[in-house]
Amino acid sequence: RKKVTIQSLQDMKTNKTPITMITAYDYPNALACSSNSLVDMTLVGDSLAQTCLGYSSTTQLTLSEMIHHTRAVARGTTHPFLVADMPFGTYHCSLDEATKNAIRLVQDGFVEGVKMEGGSEIAGTVHKLSSVGIPVMAHVGLLPQRHVAMSGYKVQGKSLGGAKRVMKDALALQEAGAFSIVLEAIPKELGRFITERLRIPTIGIGAGPWTDGQVLVWDDVMGTWSGHKAKFVRRFGDLKKERDSAVQGYVEAVKNRTFPNANSESYTIDSAEWDRFL
Ligand code: KIV
Ligand code: NA
């Protein structure tokens, strides 16, 4: 498949072809996304803080850790458009610092676009990065990087005021130059309304069936995540069961000495050579 571009994503919105995005955190994960020609975008989400690194939230992830992972994902990525999250704290101090950090993600991390959480308060940053040629994906609704300030991971835009704010933020980010926007954990009615009002493609996660595309976390899709399962998650595989049974099978075979097999799974030396050795 030909490389996915901002233009082809835009065409998918126009043609009402659903856009597919999955997270990836390492090389094999990226290969799996690239080997399916129907995956349009690969996201190195800062959810890697929890899924790969064992942190309790995304706010603990550093830029260096993110770049370490984006480099691995980039090596396995072919046609999908490759985006990475800007970690918490890497785009709020100043426009210059945000720009430098985004350039590091592009130059050292080999990503094609960056994603940033926030509303109109970060529109200036989105504008700055877009204007120097770094494609920005916006992210509104539930903002995991602000889970402490928001007193937990809660659905956003459920009240009149909340819905208006999410809509206003989405518009401001589009005007600032974002090429696409993630809508996380908002009512389906609002997900549809924003999708119809925006020119740029909307990618939903817990935003209902009517956004231009959908994104899910790799471990949720595979069914390997044993922590909290959000209402919007559907597990498309049960790899946790497969994984646990493979570990079980291996350790049992070692314990009862049925692994490795002396013939098919072991090397041998020519018997004459062995006699001389002895
Ligand atoms: O970090 C992440 O995985 C994300 C997506 C779920 C949108 O931001
Ligand atoms: Na994220």
What mean pLDDT, rounded, does the chain reach? 98
What residues contact residue 168 under an 8 Å CB cut-off, 6+ apart?
119, 120
The pLDDT of residue 252 is 98
Q: How far is the CA of 240 from the centre of ligand 2 (A)?
A: 23
Q: pLDDT, tens digit, for every residue of 55-76?
A: 999 999 999 999 999 999 999 9
203 CA: nearest ligand 1 atom: 7
Active site residue 265: no
Write the pLDDT tens digit of every residue in 119-164: 999 999 999 999 999 999 999 999 999 999 999 999 999 999 999 9
86-96 pLDDT, tens per residue?
A: 999 999 999 99
User: What is residue 226's predicted lDDT score, i.e. its pLDDT?
Assistant: 87
Atom of ligand 1 nearest to the CA of 45: 1
The residue with tokens 């550093």 is 62
DSSP secondary structure of the chain: -PPP-HHHHHHHHHTTPPEEEEE--SHHHHHHHHHSTT--EEEE-TTHHHHTT--SSGGG--HHHHHHHHHHHHHH-SSSEEEEEPPTTSSSS-HHHHHHHHHHHHHTT--SEEEEE-SGGGHHHHHHHHHTT--EEEEEES-GGGTTTTTSS-----SHHHHHHHHHHHHHHHHHT-SEEEEES--HHHHHHHHHH-SSPEEEESS-TTSSEEEE-HHHHHT---S---TT------HHHHHHHHHHHHHHHHHTT-SS-TTTTS----HHHHHHH-
Q: Distance, CA 126 to ligand 1 centroid (Å)?
A: 18
- How does residue 235 score in pLDDT terms, banded at 50, 70 and 90? very high
Minimum CA distance residue for ligand 1 atom 3: 45
pLDDT value, residue 272 = 98
Mutation to probe ligand 1, out of 25, 60, 115, 186 (largest number of atoms < 8 A from CB): 115
Q: What's the CA-to-centroid distance between 101 and ligand 1, angstroms? A: 19
List the domains of the chain with CATH numbers.
6-237 (3.20.20.60), 242-277 (no CATH)
Pocket of ligand 1 (CB under 6 A): 23, 43, 45-47, 85, 182, 205, 215, 217
> What's the rounded Cα separation, in Å, for the pair 159 and 17?
30
Cα 45 to middle of ligand 2, angstroms: 5
Q: Is the ipTM of this complex over 0.85?
A: yes
This prediction's pTM: 0.97
Mutational test site, ligand 1, from 57, 88, 182, 186, max ligand atoms within 8 Å of CB: 182
Among the bound ligands, the one closest to the CA of 205: 1
Mutation pick for ligand 1 pocket among 61, 73, 82, 85 (CB with most ligand atoms within 8 Å): 85
